[in-house]
């Protein structure tokens, strides 16, 4: 079952109620296939440790250190010329959802 996640001012809300997120940062979580596989392999352990969103695991599309820019030049969309980043992000988000984890994805810039 999909949950509705929204923001109200600076607060995340789930189904209209404030949601407290506690999590871990994985900046290079989708940098390449091996990193993505490693991230997915850790999700059950994260959840068992009380993390509620990868509460929030923040997986930067860009990768740590900024060595990979997955965004278009205007930074508004994922670069359609490099579909690998999106192909790694989608299963990561889906696997988080199966575990009731919230994944916050951002461009660190």
- The pLDDT of residue 22 is 77
- The pLDDT of residue 44 is 92
Section 98-105 average pLDDT:
80
Cα 33 from Cα 21, distance rounded (Å):
27
Give the phi and the psi of residue 46 in degrees, each rounded to 5: -60, -45
Section 80-90 average pLDDT:
79
pLDDT tens digits, 51-78: 876 543 445 555 445 556 667 777 777 7
pLDDT tens digits, 23-50: 777 777 777 889 889 989 999 998 888 8
Three-state SS annotation for the chain: CCCCEEEECCEEEECCEECCCCCCECCCCCCCHHHHHHHHHHHHHHHHCCCCCECEEEEECCCHHHCCCCECCCCCCECCCCCHHHHHHHHHHHHHHHCCCCEEEECCC
43 or 83: whose pLDDT is higher? 43
């Amino acid at each position: 079952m999909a949950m509705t996640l929204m923001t109200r001012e600076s607060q995340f809300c789930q189904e209209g109620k404030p949601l407290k997120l506690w999590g871990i940062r994985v900046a290079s979580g989708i940098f390449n296939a091996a990193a993505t596989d490693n991230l997915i392999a850790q999700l059950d352990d994260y959840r068992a440790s009380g993390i509620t969103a990868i509460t929030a695991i923040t997986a930067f599309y860009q990768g740590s250190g900024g060595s990979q820019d997955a965004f278009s030049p205007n930074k508004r969309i994922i670069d359609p010329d490099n579909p690998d980043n999106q192909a790694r992000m989608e299963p990561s988000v889906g696997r988080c959802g199966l575990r009731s984890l919230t994944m916050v994805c951002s461009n660190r810039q």
